[in-house]
């Protein structure tokens, strides 16, 4: 059996993730987090006029909740069930940052927490920012020509 | 060494042994058989790496105590773990002040250390050797996967690193002897999924077992148990299936330490336990005592190791594996 | 009544974003980290071509809370900054748009590391 045959053999027999169950859980929990966000947004709109500011405050609130749950050791248990349901909302981003920070404390605050805090969430910020810059260049040129 | 099988001019024996585990292992099916366990897995230390070292220290101290031995009587310690530079062993065993050789065989280290200790004794180079191995779920998770509090989902083929350390003292006294052994070859069949280590390691077991049965006069029926280190459910099924295709039927007597240590139905470990502590504590708590009592007479123990690092994995390399074999027998 | 409908929309669209990611996790070899990077970049792209704005208008937090919404905030920030400051906005807009989220996550993360310890898992 060569490598290719063996990989195919393993893939054909290995137990697959329960996809339907995972999808349902991701939908319900992911949807629930967004609903919580929406409810908070409706609440904040009572005090804050600017929609963007209210949206930012919603993100900040969800981040705070996610980080608190990470700290007391509950977030990973929820995520084990929710999968993408907690990963995709901003809560997953917050958990990635907080879990790195808590985990690397034993290596000190500068070279541990400081250096490693972005080890999981870094790619999101890097490529998000970079694609924003590309968009900015295109938008700027376009608005010079047609603006 | 004839045809790859190592035989010894004087027979090495397991003089003493000891197992230390964490709370999840204690709550597992073999919970009552371990010599020592610690609630919360910290072993009184403030970092997971220190906890793992402390586990090794307690394991060797326990084995010495159980065998009424002092550390000065050891000629050499052979030890290893999963951490970078094997720091679990070096920091844990420094205070014994015994000549030390660090080993890295990933999860095969338990078999590797027993094999090498047997060679040192069997070749007349040492009269008493320590063989110590450990793994800790929390320190391994940090090194190989994600931070502990990171919320991720495991696939059904993923395995759970065992928190535990097992120590064996190999010498001329004891009721269990090491009849022969075989050093595994590095086998890489192209599996690159870190969540399917069983499948990555299974070809190494098949390689070692087919070599062993073709070079020795033994057949699978000669053994009460053929026990693999940490193939888990996935890897165990693969070796039974593929070996059957080669005319070697181990379906009746094969067991896997990774499947024995946890209850897969209730403990959320997916395909079973893993880590070099897994085979070490299962052997020291359940297999060797039963050999001593004569409940079982002959056991083939295969330590299985996946020899990758997070760096090679992110460079897209597949996982090389090795399986070392030790033939244990009750006198 | 509006609130209930808004929440329902957020639930459905937000849930749908998560379902797509879950499908990618289970059905492809993409790691979660890559999927999240794709989500942010797709968010920037969809905002740039004018598709994501209407989704946000319809679903509210169902579109802003998932990571595509992070991309939406970056692209919007860039656009606003360029409109106000010209070329400099290309570099200042993205992080400005997401400043609240990133700063909150970093500061709360640091505070969490001061208070909490990682726990053994059962």
ipTM: 0.94
pLDDT at A15 (0 to 100): 84
Q: How many separate domains does chain B show?
A: 2
Domain-embedded: residue A6: no
- Identify whether residues B124 and B252 lie together within a single domain: no
Question: Are residues B188 and B326 located together in one domain of the fold?
Answer: yes
Could you tell me if C47 and C78 are in contact, meaning their C-beta atoms sit under 8 angstroms apart?
no
Within-domain flag for A12 = no
Specify the DSSP class assigned to residue B85: G
Residue A10 lies in a domain: no
| Average pLDDT in chain B | 95
* Partner-chain residue, chosen from A3, A14, A78, that has the shortest CB–CB distance to B196: A14
Q: What is the pLDDT of residues B149-177, one digit of tens each?
A: 999 888 899 999 999 999 999 999 999 99
Instruction: Clarify whether residues B14 and B127 are in a common domain.
Output: yes
Q: Which residues, given as ranges, of chain A have pLDDT below 70? A: none
Question: How close does chain C come to A1, measured CA to CA in Å?
Answer: 23
Q: Give the 3-state secondary structure of residue B273.
A: strand
Cβ of residue C119 closer than 8 Å to a chain B Cβ? yes
| B160 and B283 inside one domain | no
Q: Do A89 and C18 touch (CB under 8 A)?
A: yes
Q: In this predicted structure, what is the pLDDT of residue B176?
A: 97
B115 and B209 in a single domain? The answer is: no
Split at pLDDT 50, 70, 90, the class of B2 is low
Q: What is the mean pLDDT of residues C28-40?
A: 91
Query: How many cross-chain Cβ pairs, B to C, lie less than 8 Å apart?
Result: 29
Q: Domain boundary at B115, B143, B171, which?
A: B171
Determine the Cα–Cα distance for residues C45 and C30; give it in Å rounded to an integer. 20
What was the pLDDT predicted at C122?
76
Domain that holds residue A120: 18-146
Q: Do C37 and A76 touch (CB under 8 A)?
A: no
- The answer to whether residues C22 and A84 touch, using CB atoms and an 8 Å cutoff, is yes
Which chains have at least 3 CB atom pairs separated by less than 8 Å from chain A? B, C
Q: Same domain, yes or no, for B115 and B183?
A: no
Distance of CA A56 to the CA centre of its chain: 15
Q: Tell me, what's the pLDDT at C29? A: 83
Write the residue in A57, A83, A102 that is nearest to C116 by C-beta.
A102
Same-domain status, B47 and B164: yes
pLDDT in tens, B124-133: 999 999 999 9
**Residues B162 and B16 reside in one and the same domain:** yes
Whether residue A57 lies inside any domain: the answer is yes
The pLDDT of B236-260, averaged and rounded, is: 96
Does the beta-carbon distance from B147 to A104 stay under 8 Å?
Answer: yes
- Asked if residue B241 and residue B213 are part of one domain, the reply reads yes
The alpha-carbon radius of gyration of chain C (Å, integer) is: 17
Tell me, yes or no, whether B114 and B206 share the same domain. Answer: no
In a domain, residue A2? The reply is no
Cβ–Cβ of B151/A70 closer than 8 Å? yes
Q: Subunits that touch chain C (at least 3 Cβ pairs < 8 angstroms)?
A: A, B
Number of neighbouring beta carbons within 10 Å of residue B7: 14
Mean pLDDT calculated for residue range B69-73: 96
Q: Is A62 on the interface with C (CB under 8 A)?
A: yes
CATH of the domain at B237: 3.40.47.40
Determine the residue of chain A that is closest to C79 in CA distance.
A136
Q: Band the pLDDT of B6: cuts 50, 70, 90.
A: very high
CB–CB contact B148 C121 (8 Å): yes
Of B212, B202, B210, B270, the closest CA to residue B239 belongs to B202
Number of domains into which chain A is organized: 1
Do the chains contact at B150 and A120, CB–CB below 8 Å?
yes
Q: Looking at B171, B203, B226, which one is the last position of a domain?
A: B171
Kindly state whether residues B165 and B19 are assigned to the same domain.
Answer: yes
CA pair distance A45, B220, nearest whole angstrom: 73
Indicate the helix (H) or strand (E) that contains B93: helix B87-93
Q: Give the domain range for residue B62.
A: 5-171
Most C CBs within 10 Å, among A69, A128, A147, to test the C interface: A128
Residue B1 has pLDDT above 70, yes or no: no
Residue A1 domain-assigned? Answer: no
Closest among B6, B106, B13, B98 to B61, alpha carbons compared: B98
Q: Which of B112, B138, B171 is the last residue of a domain?
A: B171
Cβ of B128 under 8 Å from any chain A Cβ?
Answer: no
Tokens of B182: 């075989």
């Amino acid at each position: 059996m060569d490598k290719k045959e063996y990989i195919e053999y393993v893939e054909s027999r290995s137990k697959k993730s329960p996809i339907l169950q995972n999808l349902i859980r991701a939908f319900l929990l992911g949807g629930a987090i967004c609903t919580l966000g929406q409810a908070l947004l409706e609440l904040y709109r009572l005090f804050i006029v600017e929609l963007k500011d209210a949206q930012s405050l919603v993100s900040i609130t969800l981040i705070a909740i996610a980080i608190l749950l990470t700290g007391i050791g509950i977030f990973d248990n929820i995520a084990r069930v929710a999968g993408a349901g907690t990963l995709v909302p901003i809560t997953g981003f917050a958990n990635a940052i907080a879990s790195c920070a808590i985990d690397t404390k034993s290596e000190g605050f500068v070279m541990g927490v400081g250096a490693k805090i972005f080890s999981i969430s870094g790619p999101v910020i890097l490529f998000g920012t970079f694609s924003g810059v590309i968009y900015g260049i295109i938008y700027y040129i376009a608005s010079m020509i047609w603006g | 060494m004839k045809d790859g099988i190592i035989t010894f001019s004087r027979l090495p024996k397991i003089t003493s042994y000891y197992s230390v585990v964490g709370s999840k292992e204690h709550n597992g099916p073999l919970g009552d058989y371990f010599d020592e366990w610690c609630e919360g897995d910290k072993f009184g230390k403030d970092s997971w790496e220190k906890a793992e070292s402390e586990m090794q220290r307690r394991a060797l101290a326990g084995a010495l105590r159980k065998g009424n031995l002092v550390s000065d009587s050891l000629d050499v310690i052979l030890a290893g773990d999963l951490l970078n530079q094997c720091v679990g062993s070096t920091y844990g065993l420094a205070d014994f002040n015994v000549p030390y050789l660090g080993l890295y065989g990933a999860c095969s280290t338990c078999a590797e250390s027993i094999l090498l200790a047997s060679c040192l004794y069997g070749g007349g180079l040492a009269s008493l050797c320590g063989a110590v191995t450990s793994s800790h779920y929390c320190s391994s998770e940090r090194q190989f996967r994600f931070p502990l509090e990171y919320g991720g989902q495991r696939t059904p083929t993923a395995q759970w690193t065992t928190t535990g350390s097992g120590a064996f003292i190999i010498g001329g006294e004891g009721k269990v002897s090491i009849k022969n052994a075989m050093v595994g070859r590095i086998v890489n069949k192209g599996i690159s999924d870190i969540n399917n280590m069983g499948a990555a390691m299974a070809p190494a077991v098949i390689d070692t077992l087919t070599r062993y049965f073709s070079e020795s006069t033994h057949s699978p029926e000669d053994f009460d148990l053929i026990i693999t280190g940490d193939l888990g459910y996935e890897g165990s099924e693969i070796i039974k299936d593929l070996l059957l295709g080669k005319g070697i039927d181990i379906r009746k007597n094969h067991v896997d330490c990774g499947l024995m240590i946890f209850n897969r139905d209730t403990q959320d470990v997916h395909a079973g336990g893993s880590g070099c502590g897994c085979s070490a504590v299962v052997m020291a708590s359940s297999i060797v005592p039963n050999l001593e009592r004569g409940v079982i007479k002959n056991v083939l123990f295969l330590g299985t190791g996946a020899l990758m690092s997070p760096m090679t994995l992110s460079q897209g390399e597949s996982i090389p594996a090795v399986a070392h074999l030790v033939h244990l027998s009750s006198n | 009544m509006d609130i209930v409908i808004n929440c329902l929309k957020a639930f459905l669209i937000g849930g749908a974003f998560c379902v797509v990611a879950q499908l990618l996790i289970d059905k492809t070899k993409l790691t979660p980290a890559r999927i999240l990077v794709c989500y942010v970049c797709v968010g920037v792209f969809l905002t740039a071509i004018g598709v994501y704005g209407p989704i946000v208008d319809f679903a509210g937090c169902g579109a802003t809370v998932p990571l595509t919404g992070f991309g939406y905030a970056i692209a919007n920030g860039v656009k606003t900054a360029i409109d106000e400051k010209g070329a400099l906005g290309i570099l200042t807009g993205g992080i400005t748009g997401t400043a609240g989220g990133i700063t909150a996550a970093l500061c709360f993360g640091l505070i969490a590391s001061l208070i909490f310890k990682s726990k053994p898992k059962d």
